[in-house]
Structure 1
Amino acid sequence: MEIAIKLFQFILSISILVILHELGHFLPAKYFKTKVEKFYLFFDPWFSIAKKKIGETEYGIGWLPFGGYVKIAGMVDESMDTEQLKQPAQPWEFRAKPAWQRLIIMLGGVTVNFFLAWLIYSCLSLFNGETYTDLNKFTNGIEVTSAGKKMGFQNGDKIVKVDGKPAERLENTAINILLGDNVTVLRNGQEVTFPVNTDGVAEVLKQKEAKLYLSPRVSMVIDSLASPASKASGFAVGDKIVGINGQKAAYFDEVNTILGQNKGKTISVDVERNGTVQTLPTVSVDKDGKFGVKIATKDIVKSVTTNKKYSFGEAIPRGFERSIEALTMQVKQFKIMFNSKIQGYKNVGGPIAIIKNMQVNKAQDGSLSIDWTWFWGFTAMFSVWLAFLNLIPIPGLDGGHVIFTLYEMIVGKPVPQKILENAQMVGVIFLLGLMLVIFGSDIFKIFAGKL
């Protein structure tokens, strides 16, 4: 049932994006009296699920859910149908239209994608606000994993800037650091700027689970006693651990390190109780480095969480900002993807990985439902992603057509038809190869137990 809901979300999101993207091409084409032969949701090699011709256009649904297309008469596209191009150009063909009209038709899809993302982000900001982990509330700084330490962080650092831009939200900042060049932190009362070490980035990306490499540094305030031994040692709910064996140990990372060094031993623990420090002289540490107490993690999460509300007037510019942030993040990801040391290309995921990571709400009674806030956020992000991908100047994508059209507008004459056909063929082969690599990556990860 869960996989069915995830699959439904993926198909619904892709359908919305594809239909609106192709409408972005279709509407200006019709406005400029250009013949549109086909309008398809999903691809239809060999056969289609459904089709109907209305006027001069055949509308249909293909069986391969990896996009869609509009087939515009007189245009070299992925269908590689060049027979009509051997005839003289007709007034209703794409190639007969002025370059500026062709440019508008080509840019229509990515324009719709961007404005769709802007609309969704604006609505999410208006109706849901934004809930995020607020770095400004990390009063004790951050706690980092071994990967975080490799990147250059130290426990207790307070993140101030990433690449010179203020850092406010943990969720965005954690990703921006992976994509960035340098970080500024407040360390021992002084600002320190250091380059992000790519060895640490590579370690984060190699992790199978998306374990956050930095988190709030928390005090050891006891929420509950999980074992009889902890009660016998003298612990009480509300105790704040401040030292072990005479060493200062006020935070989880400090306590955890010392406990790891004293597995199976008896230690003394200093706790702050009712404003005074007391020493518990005989505390047993088990073979796993635990002494049977739990801290209030839910309270910690609440203490660093901020929910920001937006008025209508604030939501619109915020929606634009979020769209630009998403676009910037997509562009930066190419830095990781093509970095030979980080080898980010190994973490590229295709449709299988996307479907697996779709979010589903799970109620206490076990029932499942769609998390619509997450769904629309994903759709907005994916819309920006499609806009960016389609603008890459590769023949076969909108960006390739745009480059050739701009060349014509600047030079004053069109690119020769044969060059367009050959470039389109190269682009189609490249895109098919890219799809095989992405699918192959998903399949490999499944068999390797990494997906």
Structure 2
Amino acid sequence: MEVLIKIAQVILALSFLILVHELGHFLFARLFKIRVDKFYLFFNPWFSLVKFKPKNSHTEYGIGWLPFGGYCKISGMIDESLDKNQLKEDPKPWEFRSKPAWQRFFVMVGGVLFNMILAVVLYGLILFTWGEEYIKTGDASYGIQCSPLAREIGFRNGDRVLAFDQRIVTDDPVHMLHVDLIRTRPAVVTVLRGADTVRFNFDQGFIREMLNSQGLFTLRYPFVVQSVPDTSINIASGLVPGDRIVSVNDISTPAIQDVQEILAQNRKGTVYASVQREQNILQIPLLVNDQGMIMVGVTNPVEFIPVTVKEYSFLGAFPAGIRKACQTGANYIRELGLIFTPRTQAYKSVGSFIAIGSIFPGSWNWEIFWNITAWLSIMLAILNLLPIPALDGGHTILIIYEMITRRKPSDKFLEYSQIAGMILLIGLMFLAFGNDLYRLFT
């Protein structure tokens, strides 16, 4: 069922985004009185599920059967269909190729513009409806718990991250630290380690491993007993709710992760815990089961790590949505730059629909769904601006060239560049699917 829910979310999100993208092209084309031959949701090789043409309209509307996007076929334009029949005739007044360059420019960027507007609207509605919840690094007073990779990079358990180069990160959401480290690629990382401020050099050679890592950090918080169930092996130990384990076997355990590590080393054994109860320290022997647990309930970490909640009014949500969309776009451009930096081997993280599907949760959550959809809308806009002939960015670059030089590229050149761009895109698709399949089977 989880797989079906993921598939449904991918199809719904991408269909909605591509429909909005193509609608941008369509509306600008109609604004400049350019005919649109077809406007389709989903692709329709060989046949369509639904198609119709309104009376006195030149546009055929329809729904295809292949749920991987959609398209807007503009009259007199060389696109991925490579339809040459119209191009053999003299340009008609209603065709794309007969319009001035500035009008063609807006038709081509219309899809990208609509995707960016959609992202702003979605982020605004998300912030108005659910607000923002996050944990500031400054509020994570027990510091971070490091993965083996994080320790290899130079972090230590209990560190509080202060800065990447000169950029202060104490007010950043903790869950973004891993991603920010990859995006910013700082030369120096500054942390608070105990009472000391420590700086260490960040080796960018770790970026490849970081891209494949599930996460570098979790948050540390103390082991405080919430309950001792009747079925617990330690029901007779004397532990009571509110007890805090501060050391085990004479080893200091300021965080629950420290306790868990020692328990894992003493499966089916007995450990001796120092427990703080109000102002007193008690010594209590505890049994450990074969799974490395003492079978007690622990206090929710939010009791020790405050969650920042920021709510927005309807009018205040949309300026915040603009800021979030711009920040998300800037971050994605940085991530895209990693793909074109061979030594990071970030190109190995390029994914297809399978990778997109893995982003969505296995259960339906509208807040998460719309957040991912807004992010995908920005991603779609930026990718379409890449100067590849088969993409909007490639067409736009040629139009800008024409506007500057007053020389329009020939139809033959446009046709060949379109073919070259399609070959490149197909190659990228094979890379993306290949990466996904490799990750699935390794």
Counterpart for residue 153 of structure 2: 151
Residue 179 in structure 1 maps to residue 173 in structure 2: no
Question: Aligned partner of 1:59: which letter?
Answer: Y
After superposition, the Cα gap between the structure-2 partners of 1:321 and 1:294, relative to the gap in structure 1 and judged at 3 Å, is same
After superposition, the Cα gap between the structure-2 partners of 1:109 and 1:134, relative to the gap in structure 1 and judged at 3 Å, is same
After superposition, the Cα gap between the structure-2 partners of 1:188 and 1:89, relative to the gap in structure 1 and judged at 3 Å, is same
Hey, what's the Cα distance between the residues in 1 that align with 2:374 and 2:304? Answer: 27
The alpha-carbon deviation at position 317 of structure 1 amounts to 1.4
After superposition, the Cα gap between the structure-2 partners of 1:301 and 1:234, relative to the gap in structure 1 and judged at 3 Å, is closer
Question: What secondary structure does 1:40 align onto?
Answer: strand
Contact preservation (8 Å) 2:43, 2:70: yes
Counterpart for residue 22 of structure 2: 22
Question: What secondary structure does 1:90 align onto?
Answer: coil
Question: What secondary structure does 1:68 align onto?
Answer: strand
Question: Aligned partner of 2:360: which letter?
Answer: M
1:69-108 → structure 2 map (5 Å cutoff)? 69-108=71-110
Hey, what's the Cα distance between the residues in 2 that align with 1:303 and 1:143? Answer: 14
Hey, what's the Cα distance between the residues in 2 that align with 1:151 and 1:409? Answer: 50
Contact preservation (8 Å) 1:177, 1:196: no
1:294-313 → structure 2 map (5 Å cutoff)? 294-296=297-299, 298-300=300-302, 303-313=305-315
Hey, what's the Cα distance between the residues in 1 that align with 2:224 and 2:350? Answer: 41
The alpha-carbon deviation at position 118 of structure 1 amounts to 0.2
Counterpart for residue 370 of structure 2: 376
TM-score between both structures, scaled by the size of structure 2: 0.89
Contact preservation (8 Å) 1:327, 1:384: yes
Identity of aligned residues (%): 39
The alpha-carbon deviation at position 393 of structure 1 amounts to 0.6
Hey, what's the Cα distance between the residues in 1 that align with 2:395 and 2:304? Answer: 50
Hey, what's the Cα distance between the residues in 2 that align with 1:79 and 1:88? Answer: 19
The alpha-carbon deviation at position 177 of structure 1 amounts to 2.1
Counterpart for residue 347 of structure 2: 345
Question: What secondary structure does 1:10 align onto?
Answer: helix
Counterpart for residue 215 of structure 1: 218
Question: What secondary structure does 1:89 align onto?
Answer: coil
The alpha-carbon deviation at position 402 of structure 1 amounts to 0.7
Question: Aligned partner of 1:19: which letter?
Answer: L
1:427-438 → structure 2 map (5 Å cutoff)? 427-438=421-432
1:125-144 → structure 2 map (5 Å cutoff)? 125-144=127-146
Instruction: Choose 36-45 or 437-446, whichever is displaced more.
Output: 437-446
Question: What secondary structure does 2:53 align onto?
Answer: strand
Contact preservation (8 Å) 1:242, 1:248: yes
Question: What secondary structure does 1:154 align onto?
Answer: coil
Question: What secondary structure does 1:317 align onto?
Answer: helix
After superposition, the Cα gap between the structure-2 partners of 1:335 and 1:230, relative to the gap in structure 1 and judged at 3 Å, is farther
Count the aligned residue pairs. Answer: 435
Contact preservation (8 Å) 2:221, 2:301: no
Residue 241 in structure 1 maps to residue 238 in structure 2: no
In structure 1, list runs of 5 or more residues that go unmatched: 362-369
The alpha-carbon deviation at position 285 of structure 1 amounts to 4.6
Which of the numbers 236, 254, 257 marks the counterpart of 2:258?
Answer: 254
Hey, what's the Cα distance between the residues in 2 that align with 1:228 and 1:8? Answer: 42
After superposition, the Cα gap between the structure-2 partners of 1:284 and 1:342, relative to the gap in structure 1 and judged at 3 Å, is farther
Hey, what's the Cα distance between the residues in 2 that align with 1:46 and 1:257? Answer: 61
Question: Aligned partner of 1:185: which letter?
Answer: V
Contact preservation (8 Å) 1:156, 1:217: yes
Contact preservation (8 Å) 1:152, 1:197: no
Counterpart for residue 365 of structure 1: none
Hey, what's the Cα distance between the residues in 2 that align with 1:19 and 1:165? Answer: 40
1:253-289 superposed Cα distances (whole Å, 9 cap, x missing partner): 3334444555565443211112111223x44455654
Contact preservation (8 Å) 1:111, 1:387: yes
